[in-house]
Chain A
Amino acid sequence: MSALNIKKGSSSHSAYDLRSALSEVEESHTLAVIVENEPGVLARVIGLFSGRGYNIDSLTVAEVDHTGHRSRITIVTRGTPAVIDQIEAQLSRMVPVHAVHDLTVEGPSVQRELALVKVRGKGEHRIEALRLAEIFRANVVDSTLESFVFEMTGTPEKIDAFVELMRPLGLVEIARTGVAALARGV
């Protein structure tokens, strides 16, 4: 995206018309894939990525419509514009796939990830960890005399930043959900 000087999510029109399909620059895209909630559908989607050599940076999946049997898979992937187009086309033609949305080009979107971060420390380190958690609006969900588990949601970048700050303060373990994303507005 940066190579073409288009601000991410700045246009509500299809950005495919703006960028060169032949560009060799890799871009990160967030795809929302609405699928039939049936056995094997996730394996099918993941198999497409591994079988055709596409990247998965993050993947989340859960049922979002129980009566309609729909699940939403959110995939963050990387590739040249041609590869991203291929990924969308390949996903779209799968029988159990109902819709594919490229949230990166379809307009502004909200992207959030949840992380649980365990930090061990005493004294100054412990106080500093708590202070930083407050700045990042992370909640303490477990506490012992020498450890905390923080819960925070935010963009992946914000979680990265928080994790980096916790590292010297006694970071023990991290669990991240991967990105969930929705288009802004209706």
Chain B
Amino acid sequence: MSKQMTGAKMVVQALKDQGVEVVFGYPGGAVLPIYDELFLQNDIRHILVRHEQGAVHMAEGYARSTGKPGVALVTSGPGATNAVTGLTDALMDSIPIVVLTGQVPTFMIGTDGFQEADTVGITRPCTKMNWLVKDTAKLSETIHQAFHVATHGRPGPVLIDIPKDVQFATAEYTPAEKAKVSHYQPRTEGDPAQIARLVELMEQAERPILYTGGGVINSGPRASQLLRELATETGFPVTSTLMGLGAYPASGKNWIGMLGMHGLYEANLAMHGCDLMINIGARFDDRITGRVKDFSPRSKKAHIDIDPSSINKVIHVDVPIVGDVTKVLEELLRQWRARGSRTDQRGLAKWWKQIDEWRAVKCLSYKPSSTTIKPQYALERLEALTKGMDRYICTEVGQHQMWAAQFLGFEEPNRWMTSGGLGTMGYGLPASIGVQIAHPDALVINVAGEASWLMNMQEMGTAMQFRAPVKQFILNNERLGMVRQWQELLHGERYSSSWSESLPDFVKLAEAFGCKGIKCDDPKDLDDAIMEMIRHDGPVIFDCLVEKHENCFPMIPSGKPHNEMLLSADAEAFRSGAVLV
């Protein structure tokens, strides 16, 4: 017996078959048939957002904290165009999400109909793949294929554009197991010969470093476990990009901190001075490499990546290994153990001594204050008071994001949600709601700046409606802090449009949303205020008034190599002249 149903019902059925429990969305004319079907069932929960960008970021937060694909459902035209930022964000950070958009009926496509937009045209460069489904008979198969593409190979966002008449029409439903297996089957096993070359290099290395990235997290929890085994068995130091925090625990013996533009002194100098760099699931982003010509000039480089186009894109490597991090690390450890490999103990001891000397610089030190809350202090206290809790951290984008990465410690993967590649201000609040929906009992904190936070603050309504007790920890410096910092250091202190005028009273704003507002401007009150935030059963907007002119250090000005890092003490001596990106 074939199973006939409408396109709209197919959408809901296919989502169920794919194990989807939550959809973040916003209704509109072109998706009403699907909303009708959502209304008639109880398996899939629908979270009504306040803006489609919020829906996509929530789906991202959901995906990153669970490892499962996130799903968003929006209408045609403005619904779809509002989703573009989230799609691009997910593409840059390799987050598996499936976005369903409504479209005007097929017979109206191309007529500039009401709420018509060329959605697949607009989203082609910001999705891993997208489809316009013009035939109901192909709809269910396309949805199954979309989930396959989003979650296989390098994960990413996919979009399915569904015209309204396709939702109304009836056809046979194709169940997931009968859907045509996509030809899209990216290679996941690394080449054993290349892995053997890497093992040999690891045996000889005197100054090795494991440079890990978001690929370790995306590969699943097993990858993080294998990374820990590798670090323990080799004694190699581990650094990570912003995206990879938590794959190796911050309390781990081999952890030397985050690297990159605002990474730790010891991590960046170790990258610069190493003789063997093992890149595991990172992509030599410009925030990591600084000036490419002078990047880690004396090292042999190995690169493990599931995406062949990441290899040799920016940095030429000696040992390219295309494959899934889990499978490659499994094979690497197997060979390492089978050969009875040993590291160069004397070389390593000397290397660690050097790293400890760099560490002694204490690059994160800042001038404490007893009268003003330093943003670093606020994060140190937040870390101290929430450590050991079932905690998830999101951030917006800017200084606070870098401070959060520097001062908060992550022990497990999938606990840290931040917009790395695209740098999307307004990401954190909706992402935190997505995380909280997936983990209703966890402590979900969005470390925010006031300017970023305002970009999607309407989503507080969503948090209230769906009782997502997210904690919005806003480091309020009344400035666009990172912009202000660059203007101070690189643009002759001309603060062009970088202050937040006419800010709302955040406590009153919280009350207006019906949630709790907390304001704190005195370091002495901070601990109590943070505890009050944690203990409150419901969403909180925490207005933490911090030092207005604090700069985020260390900093590698863009276009500079790793060994030309600015520490806070050097800031005054810094002369501009860097190429700005």
Contact = CB atoms under 8 A, between A and B. Distances in A.
Q: Do A and B bind each other?
A: yes
Most buried by A among B186, B307, B309, B311: B309
Interface stretch (B57-65, B118-126, B238-246): B118-126
Interface string B103-143: 00000000000000000110011001110100000000000
A11 interface: no
A82 B309 contact: no
Contact of A40 (B132, B154, B312): B132
A93 B309 contact: yes
Contacts of A56: none
Contact of B121 (A36, A43, A95): A43
B183 interface: yes
Contact of B124 (A43, A92, A93): A43
Contact of A47 (B125, B132, B308, B309): B125
B309 A86 contact: yes
Given A40-B124, A51-B125, A82-B316, A98 B183 contact: yes
Nearest to A39: B132
B166 to A, nearest CB: 14
A177 interface: no
A21 interface: yes
> Which of A22, A85, A95: most chain B CB closer than 10 A?
A95
B334 interface: no
B184 A47 contact: no
Contacts of A39: 132
Interface string B148-188: 01000110000000000000000000000000001110100
Interface string B516-550: 00000000000000000000000000000000000
Nearest to B186: A93
Nearest to A96: B129
Interface residues of B, number: 22
A89 interface: yes
A152 to B, nearest CB: 37
A86 B128 contact: no
B316 A22 contact: yes
Given A40-B124, A40-B132, A47-B124, A95 B312 contact: no
A143 interface: no
A44 interface: yes
Interface string A46-57: 010001000000
B184 A95 contact: yes
Given A43-B124, A82-B316, A86-B313, A93 B132 contact: no
Nearest to A82: B312
A43 B124 CA distance: 8
Contacts of A98: 183
Contacts of A92: 308-309
A85 B312 contact: yes
Which of B120, B312, B316 has the most chain A CB atoms closer than 10 A to its own CB?
A: B312
Chain A interface category by residue count: 10 to 19
Contact of B312 (A21, A36, A43, A96): A21
A40 B182 CA distance: 17
B316 A21 contact: yes
A144 B313 CA distance: 55
A86 B311 CA distance: 9
A22 B293 CA distance: 12
Nearest to A48: B125
A144 B128 CA distance: 53
Contacts of A95: 128-129, 149, 182, 184
Nearest to B311: A89
Nearest to A50: B125
Contacts of B120: 40
Contacts of A44: 124
A93 B311 CA distance: 12
Contacts of A82: 312, 316
A97 to B, nearest CB: 9
Contacts of B153: 93
Contacts of A85: 312
Contacts of B186: 93
B124 A86 contact: no
A35 to B, nearest CB: 11
A90 interface: yes
Contacts of B132: 39-40
Nearest to A22: B316
B475 to A, nearest CB: 35
A167 to B, nearest CB: 40
A40 B183 CA distance: 18
B352 to A, nearest CB: 33
Nearest to A21: B316
Nearest to A92: B308
B307 A93 contact: yes
Interface in A23-68: 36, 39-40, 43-44, 47, 51
Nearest to B121: A43
Interface string A83-120: 00110011011011010000000000000000000000
A92 B306 CA distance: 13
B125 A93 contact: no
Contacts of A51: 125
Nearest to B156: A95
A43 B130 CA distance: 12
A165 B129 CA distance: 47
Interface string B262-301: 0000000000000000000000000000000000000000
Contacts of B311: 89
Interface in B292-350: 307-309, 311-313, 316
A79 to B, nearest CB: 13
Contacts of B312: 21, 82, 85-86
A186 B308 CA distance: 27
Contacts of A89: 308-309, 311, 313
A45 B286 CA distance: 25
A89 to B, nearest CB: 4
Nearest to B128: A95
A98 B182 CA distance: 11
15 contacts: A21-B312, A40-B120, A40-B121, A40-B132, A43-B124, A47-B125, A51-B125, A82-B316, A85-B312, A89-B309, A92-B308, A95-B128, A95-B149, A95-B182, A95-B184
Interface of A: 21-22, 36, 39-40, 43-44, 47, 51, 82, 85-86, 89-90, 92-93, 95-96, 98
Given A21-B316, A93-B154, 13 more contacts: A22-B316, A40-B120, A40-B121, A47-B124, A82-B312, A89-B309, A89-B313, A92-B309, A93-B186, A93-B307, A95-B128, A95-B129, A95-B149
The list of the 3 closest CB pairs from A to B, nearest first, reads A89-B309, A95-B129, A89-B308
